Structure 1
């Protein structure tokens, strides 16, 4: 698959490259790589749109790697097509959600099953993989485009982030990292950037508060924790699992509802619970959109955190008993 076929089919001259709210390193690297193709191969000036901006770690990576990427956090640009990466769900696109249905759309995403955008897209590359970066780099254009070392390092960071420092991997993800290192990616720098989120003062406070506020519920031999924090939900969920929980749910957000979940591989293997599906099931009871993978899921929407906790516990009890 290549971007050129899509661009020519829809006769696009000002494409928009978009990803989900609060873009993590994989999402950020994916939009940067797509933008690279559009500029280097087709001479197009695209606009990168990230609703609510990149995540804290992504912002640090841009600064550390000296990548002056211009990002719109509120959609003001004119565009005639949209290339969406690392999500296929319109509700995760912020201001773009209400406008995207009127445009020609291409979707590249590693989340399975796909969301509502696939049904309206002119082209799509949807495949379960560790990171969307691996799918973007399978586009034909990269056979003839040189990737700058700082962008290659960002892409490696994206894979490290989504693989949880390679606690899970596939041949494609490992081959992608090897290819990026041949392009000049600095693996050690990518690891250092990944560890920065662990050392940040606000993230350390979030982990401590999350642990302090956590409720522990025992389901047979499994330990499930539920807690709430103001930020760093995914990090806190990973921390609770590393501390001994089999499954962790962390609820955050002020004007919005954000839920992050993480589970041990052994818990998923023994119970058959798929956190991506579990978070999508929340859509039946809470306003918003959920998704993810077997051992990691997320939900973004609106609602009362206490009600969200009750719904989670009820669905979990139904799934386990």
Structure 2
């Protein structure tokens, strides 16, 4: 559909992951005309299963998203479109216009950003090949599948200590590897008291067959036998839309390292009519379960605002 000034959506949802689908479902049930635009680049598509999502535990992400799309098809107010939104702007009449990569433009009374995050991990050779399998960023999402293997945590400082101590719930053989970062005496004491080993040597690579992790290879040639690796990861906005539309961002901190869109308890940004949900607006460790909840809140918030405007 080319830009049609007669078409004014109640809401456009950008992103068809767990948060976007949840928001669109809530809007559809609220009988609000909704356009869901999805570029199909969900970060968890590389994983074999979603961990910890009630009713869908260990289901493949692709199957989960397909089921969500089928559910949306039952609501005539909701239309879905495969495209990438490359630009967004607010209009003088308090509506929004978004532009897709194919040149199509759409207008709406409200927008929900469920655009996800760009997961940045250390550039260690062999890490990306195992990402989402034996190498992961969330023990609650992946810890069960690798439980009782010897594990390592790749991080530095207080973040690394915290992660290594927490990982003991899934393994009694945990090592903190800092890739050249030095721990303080107090941090070493905490690790020792918790039964966690540590190694501060630089890392050359991760090794193992396929996506399986067998060893951490240090720069001096020594190896540490491990079956899983928890990695400190930085999450940055995948899309520039939040900035383009004037929404505020929360700067990454040392512990969480998430560049989140700032929202209130009902997923409203500081721009009227603009909402954000899912990983893009998370201030807690991201998960599909949390994304579903925030998507519902964003959708409900938009429905109420549209009804009372």
TM-score, length of structure 2 as denominator length: 0.28
Greater CA radius of gyration, 1 or 2? 2
Higher normalized contact order (CA 8 Å, seq sep 6+, divided by chain length): 2
Higher strand share: 2
